[in-house]
């Protein structure tokens, strides 16, 4: 799930989201309450091997560790790109182990194309 050598540390989540939006990436992948991974406005239920993590961005809260978040840039097997955002630490956006297990099973192919230094 993690590749600590290629994690960007841009100052804010909103800055990274804006840079991705400028590249046409603004839709989200989300896991629903039935533990199905969906692409925004799509009915497709993805399996981990139908997705690839292209980039991982981590954000640490300056004054509060509860403000930590991670944004994953994900591409599906048909070329759709989107983001998946999760708080990490004690307060994940997703309850249970299903999300973590799913995420660990997604192949990683980190791309320098999305380095925003």
φ, ψ (nearest 5 deg) of residue 33? -65, -15
- What is the model's pLDDT at position 89? 62
pLDDT value of position 8? 47
| 1: DSSP letter | -
Q: In the prediction, which pLDDT does 24 show?
A: 96
Q: Which pLDDT score, from 0 to 100, does residue 99 have?
A: 87
pLDDT number for residue 67: 63
Compute the distance between CA of residue 47 and CA of residue 44 in angstroms, rounded to an integer.
10
pLDDT at 109: 95
**What local confidence, expressed as pLDDT, does residue 117 receive?**
64
Using a cut of 0.75, tell me whether the model's pTM lies above it.
yes
Residues of the chain with pLDDT under 70: 1-11, 61-67, 89-93, 95, 117
Quick one: pLDDT at residue 7?
Answer: 47
pLDDT of residue 5: 46
């Amino acid at each position: 799930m993690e590749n600590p050598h290629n994690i960007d540390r841009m100052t804010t989540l909103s800055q990274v989201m804006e840079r991705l939006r400028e590249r046409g990436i603004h839709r989200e992948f989300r896991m629903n309450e039935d533990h199905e991974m969906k692409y925004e406005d799509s009915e497709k239920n993805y399996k981990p091997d139908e997705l690839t993590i292209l980039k991982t961005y981590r954000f640490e809260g300056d004054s509060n560790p509860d403000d930590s978040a991670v944004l994953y840039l994900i591409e599906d097997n048909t070329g759709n790109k989107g983001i998946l955002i999760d708080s990490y630490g004690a307060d994940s956006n997703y309850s249970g182990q299903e999300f973590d297990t799913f995420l660990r099973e997604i192949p990683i192919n980190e791309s320098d194309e999305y380095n925003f230094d």
